[in-house]
Amino acid sequence: MTRRGEASTLSVPGAAPSEAGELARLRGAFATFVTATRRLEREYAALRERVALLAAELEEKNRPLADSLARERRLEAEALRQSRLAAMGEMAATLAHEVRNPLGAMELFTGLLLQDLRDRPEAHALAEQVARGIADLNHLVTNLLEFTRTRVPRAEVVDCRALAEDALRYTADLQAANRVTVVRDWDEDTAVTALGDPDLSRPVVLNLVRNALQAMPDGGALTVSVRARDLKAEIAIADTGQGIAPDAHEEVFRPFYTTRTKGTGLGLPVARGLVTAMGGELVLASEMGVGSTFTVTLPAPPKEEA
């Protein structure tokens, strides 16, 4: 029995006083350890949150720097590409000028040869193949010159229907060779005019018509539409070829990009550059397995000039 007012030193039944004291100290130390551990865990969690916050802030601050470095690398790559293109353009222009003179003579003599061979079908067919080859080469030389030339367009009234007819007439042999049906989609009684440069407009429409025909080597339908739209004029060239993949809709306007083994990748870049120089727009709409439509939009002339 313990007297009133005296503290008991026995905390565990059956334990000696010294053992009970030791157990009490151990329990106290363990409780302190647990409390300290929990406090450390809370502090560690708070520290982790702080580190994560600082890391996010650092990443946020570094993002403009990373974007700036990436932009600088892109600009360096673009500058290198432009310098290479300039060198290639200078060389191509020199070669094109050298080739064009004899090419013109070849085209003239081949035309005379075709007239002389009208009564000899087999020989005439061979001469036609030569003429098509010369026309392709002439088209290539023209594209090279247009690509390397800085043009200041004239503002004149252009007959859009006449542009389309000229391009169809020039590509008649290719239409026949590829067994392509041509659809003229315009109103014969309504004139559609645009404000542009005739010398720049002709190669634009010709390039688009040739590209459409080449997209249908096994036959198809070529539809050329001419429309007046508000204060603009539209010439649309549609084919029924395989179409262009969505991720290549802008790539096709990049110089030297082509999916054809014999293509140069200059026709569409030249066409877009010329249309842009005349204050117009060239856009593509295409669906795989259905075909492609290239639409040229040019400003309409003032009504008093139309």
State the DSSP string of 92-128: HHHHHHHHHHHHHHHHHHHHHHHHHTTT-HHHHHHHH
| Homologous superfamily of 155-299 | Histidine kinase-like ATPase, C-terminal domain (3.30.565.10)
* Secondary structure letter of residue 297 according to DSSP: E
pLDDT of residue 173: 86
- CATH 3.30.565.10 domain span(s) along the chain: 155-299
pLDDT single digits (tens) 22-52: 778 878 777 887 888 888 888 888 888 888 8
pLDDT of residue 10: 42
CA–CA separation, 97 vs 109, rounded Å? 20
pLDDT surpassing 70 at residue 8: no
Give the residue among 231, 153, 165, 235 at the shortest CA–CA distance from 198: 153
pLDDT single digits (tens) 108-157: 888 888 888 888 888 888 888 888 778 777 777 776 666 666 667 788 89
pLDDT single digits (tens) 181-236: 999 999 888 889 999 888 889 889 998 999 899 999 999 999 999 999 888 999 99
pLDDT of residue 11: 47
Give the residue among 134, 137, 115, 133 at the shortest CA–CA distance from 124: 115
The residue with tokens 């042999």 is 173
**Which residues 6+ apart lie within 8 Å of 278 measured at CB?**
153, 195, 196, 197, 200, 201, 298
Give the mean model confidence (pLDDT) for residues 71-87. Answer: 78
